[in-house]
Amino acid sequence: MFRPYDTADTDWSKQVRKTACRLSIIVILLWTVGTAPAQARQITDMAGRTVTVPDVIGKIYGTSPPATLMAYAMDPSLVAGLNMPIKPDDAPYLDPRMTSRPVVGGWFGQGRVASMETLLALQPDIILVWWWQHSAMDEKMANTLAPLGIPVVYMALNQLADYPEAFDFLGMLLHREARAGMLGSYARQTLAESERVRRAIPDDARVSVYYAEEADGLSTECHTSVHAELIPLSGGENVHRCIQRTRVGKQKVSMEQILNYDPQVIVAHERLFFKHIAADPKWQNIRAVQQGRVYRIPSRPFNWFDRPPSFMRLLGLKWMLHHLYPDHTAIDIVSETRQFYRLFLNVDLDEAAARKLLAP
């Protein structure tokens, strides 16, 4: 889980105390050295805050993967540092300018924090934060970052429908309206296509979907969870209907519950689960297994469905439409994958590479 700030408080506070003295010294040294004054301007970020930012922004640090990946999509050279190391198998699907960046860390759950020393050394022009609507953790993080003197800009990315506006915002912020327009246009067209399909499907004809998580497949997300947002967006019916109690998600369910749900489609990204489900006798009475409609979610370089909840979900939404309602869409998913990687990731895939990404 990348977003929810679930157990970080204690560890994070300790981390802050340990580094406070060192940071103060580093900040004083940096101020002593001094930098040339830059042209500045005021903008209103997506949280409605007035922020003074450099007129020309060349380096961005995102405090979590969704924010960092938005900067990458605008221009890989903008990314000042990474939230986590790039896996060797993911590197071929990313611009080399991204993979060569130092790892700073970030605030994205499970006690993770950034290396403040590394962040200070990088001196990004702005810090981009995925704004979680007045979260207490957002406030704590802002207080931690404030002494650095680097402008902190909030961006709303709470649901896929926020992405077109988020790209518009980055276009304004970075003076790159043309690039933002291309990315935002793709997002708007994808959301419009999914709405068209949803309208064409009667309620009683919607495909029931189970989102299997973890190696045993016995964790899932409530139908209200942002982690399973692509199911309703693609016109599917999430079989696990409940109220999400935590941001972490991954609700435990029993095999009996899944047998009662009897979903028509199962989506999963755990290779081990996908490998064994076809031969596991416990799953053989479920329609999705009997009809060969168990699909493994593509995940390189980042998950197309969830965790982190990035713009990759735009392609994931088309992948879901392709699998749920092939008679209502004309999506060539191989061609679509190649187009998406070229547009958002600045990576050219040949047809074989695209098919490899889509293979379970």
Tell me whether residue 32 is in a domain: no
Q: What is the pLDDT of residues 109-130, one digit of tens each?
A: 767 788 999 999 999 999 999 8
pLDDT at 33: 44
112 with 234, same domain: the answer is no
pLDDT at 143: 82
Q: What is the pTM of this model?
A: 0.87
Q: What CATH number is associated with residue 275?
A: 3.40.50.1980
218 with 153, same domain: the answer is no
211 with 348, same domain: the answer is yes
pLDDT at 1: 35
Q: Point out the domain boundary residue: 125, 158, 191.
A: 158
pLDDT at 137: 72
Question: CB 136: neighbour CB atoms within 10 A?
Answer: 10
Distances (CA, A) of 202 to 34, 197, 234, 264: 64, 10, 13, 16
How far apart are the C-alpha atoms of 158 and 226, rounded to whole Å?
A: 8
Q: What is the pLDDT of residues 273-310, one digit of tens each?
A: 998 998 899 999 999 999 999 999 999 999 999 988 89
pLDDT at 135: 67
154 with 220, same domain: the answer is no
210 with 353, same domain: the answer is yes
pLDDT at 244: 76
Tell me whether residue 182 is in a domain: no
Range of the domain at 299: 202-358
- Looking at the structure of the chain, the number of domains it has is 2
How far apart are the C-alpha atoms of 90 and 88, rounded to whole Å?
A: 5
208 with 353, same domain: the answer is yes
pLDDT at 12: 47
Tell me whether residue 88 is in a domain: yes
DSSP for 64-89, written as a single string = SHHHHHHHHHH-GGGB--BSSPPPTT
Low-confidence ranges of the chain (pLDDT < 50): 1-10, 12, 16, 29, 31-37
- Secondary structure (3-state) at 252: strand
Check residue 235 and report its DSSP letter: T
